[in-house]
């Protein structure tokens, strides 16, 4: 069972453990998913929000993989569990809620969604490293980069609402 502090760790992949094979992070995810879901429910409750059954199932689908899922893939995943197909609009509305609660992110470059493994502020700079080979995504943050970006946007009088950088390339596992 994953320790609670594991969730503070921003990396999705466990590159540091050499005994792990390429598919290990997917298994890690499955193991930690129930705990993450319980934490998400507590978080919403504390905020007076409701993690409804549909929201729980969508979030569970995101927790079950280290890869970003499109709305269509979420529909397929949930349909394979219950034989019930949710409408895309339901998925998008659910994602809006999960993103607003800081439980998920939207990857613009992939038109897909991914669970957020960290409890960071909504306006904190987030960098996604997206692997073209395995589709794995690492979410990382950098105070230094955040400050540099703040300087840059201030210089130009620009007020960012979202501070997300998406990088495409090859992860440490695949290279």
Does residue 162 touch Zn ion according to CB under 5 A? no
Does residue 174 touch Zn ion according to CB under 5 A? yes
91 versus 131: smaller Cβ distance to Zn ion: 131
Total chain residues near Zn ion (CB under 5 A): 9
Contacts 24+ apart (CB under 8 A), 127-131: 127/164, 127/165, 127/166, 127/167, 128/164, 128/165, 128/166, 128/167, 129/167, 129/169, 129/171, 130/68, 130/166, 130/167, 130/168, 130/169, 131/169, 131/170, 131/171, 131/173, 131/174
Does residue 8 touch Zn ion according to CB under 5 A? no
Q: State the Cα–Cα distance between residues 100 and 22, nearest whole angstrom.
A: 32
Cα radius of gyration rounded to whole Å, the chain: 16
Of 101, 134, 137, 138, the one binding Zn ion by CB under 5 A: 134
Of 133, 148, 152, 168, the one binding Zn ion by CB under 5 A: 133
Both tokens of residue 158? Answer: 């620009």
Q: State the Cα–Cα distance between residues 170 and 98, nearest whole angstrom.
A: 28
Give the x/- contact pattern for Zn ion in 39-68, rule: CB under 5 A. ------------------------------
18 versus 53: smaller Cβ distance to Zn ion: 18
78 versus 129: smaller Cβ distance to Zn ion: 129
Question: Which residues contact residue 55 at a Cβ distance below 8 angstroms, ignoring those fewer than 6 apart?
Answer: 94, 97, 98
Both tokens of residue 16? Answer: 């540091």
74 versus 136: smaller Cβ distance to Zn ion: 136
15 versus 49: smaller Cβ distance to Zn ion: 15
Give the x/- contact pattern for Zn ion in 92-131, rule: CB under 5 A. ------------------------x-x------------x
Query: Where do contacts with Zn ion occur on this chain (CB under 5 A)?
Result: 116, 118, 131, 133-134, 136, 171, 173-174
């Amino acid at each position: 069972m994953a320790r609670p502090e594991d969730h503070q760790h921003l990396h999705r992949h466990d590159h540091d453990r050499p005994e792990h094979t390429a598919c290990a992070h997917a298994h890690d995810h499955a193991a930690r998913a129930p705990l993450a879901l319980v934490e998400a429910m507590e978080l919403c409750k504390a905020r007076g929000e409701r993690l409804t059954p549909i929201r729980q199932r969508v979030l569970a689908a995101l927790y079950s993989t280290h890869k970003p899922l499109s709305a269509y893939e979420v529909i397929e995943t949930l349909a394979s569990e219950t034989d019930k197909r949710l409408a895309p609009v339901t998925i998008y509305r659910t994602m809006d809620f999960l993103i607003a609660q800081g439980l998920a992110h939207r990857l613009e470059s992939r038109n897909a969604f991914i669970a957020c493994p960290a409890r960071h502020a909504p306006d904190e700079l987030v960098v996604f490293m997206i692997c073209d080979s395995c589709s794995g995504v690492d979410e990382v943050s950098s105070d230094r980069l955040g400050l540099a970006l703040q300087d840059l946007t201030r210089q130009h009088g620009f007020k960012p609402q979202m501070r997300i950088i998406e990088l495409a390339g090859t992860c440490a596992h695949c290279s």
